Amino acid sequence: MILFPQTPQRLAYHLFRSLQNLGPRNRVLARNETLRNKHQDQRCFLLGSGKSILSQDLTLLRGEAVITQNNFHVHESISVVAPAYHCVIPMYQPPEYAPDWKTWFESMAERLPATTHLITGLNSKPLLERNGLFTDRVSYIRHGINPLFIRRPPFDITRNVMNIETALTQCIEVALFMGFSRIYLLGFDLSQICEGRDREWGRFYGTSPVTVNQAERSVDDMYMATGFMWLQYWLMWRSFILLRAEADRRGVEIVNLTRGGLLNVFRRADYEETIRAMTRS
């Protein structure tokens, strides 16, 4: 119990979401059926916000299927990358911080190409609809399946999926559901745990409206003071290992092209060399 705080509550919520998956599909989530295997046997690039990505030439991805996440829309090459999809983690802060999320989503709507499809938490739906954001180009997901209690990760986004411990979990789940057979990771340093109380947390963009507010500061301080940050990282790694195993079972290759960082779960390769090989083939 000391190692896994709130285990009974975690298990109860996990069972609740798991039982939901045995019943009829939520009507909003069921609309994601149009995305199932939409990109069968294609390749995609998932772009993270680690500082390492600033040293890599993203113009090489012009014309590729790209999935960005969270605050990546502020990157100077966002119009060149022109992501097909942009994943945003489900809202996790108290309701009084909804204005920060509104500001955040508005900045995405302003900078992302008009062709980019948003994929975010179901709990964001009222806020987006109330403010007329991403109309007709948004899909919703609902998480709740805890990696602590499963052997195989659910990634069927027409139903409840695995907890989003970090944006990469969501991106891989979405990529698997859409049928991509080669998934390349770029800019996922995941080195925040080595950086102390730096509010920028290893992100190339510094902070966003939802990472600089008091809700986030309080959680960061608590995680570092209690050591819960270590458990959070273990849960992240547990999720990645489950997703790697599922990808292997399906013949899907996940390759980490990040320069440096801590993410050694997936096979590493050099970004530029990989792109050159693709160009030659």
DSSP output for 167-233: HHHHHHHHHHHTT-SEEEEES----GGGSTT-TTTTBTT---TTTSSHHHHHHHHHHHHHSHHHHHH
What is the total count of domains within the chain? 1
What is the domain extent for residue 187?
Answer: 7-280
Residue 2 within any structural domain of the chain? no
Is 1 within a domain? no
- 196 pLDDT band, cuts 50/70/90, is low
Coil vs helix vs strand at 163: coil
Residue range 82-128, pLDDT digits in tens = 999 999 999 999 999 999 999 999 999 999 999 999 999 999 999 99
In a domain, 131, yes or no: yes
- pTM of the entire structure? 0.95
pLDDT tens digits for 127-176?
999 999 999 999 999 999 999 999 999 999 999 999 998 999 999 999 99
* Predicted pLDDT of residue 244: 98
Which CATH number goes with the domain that contains 147? 3.90.1480
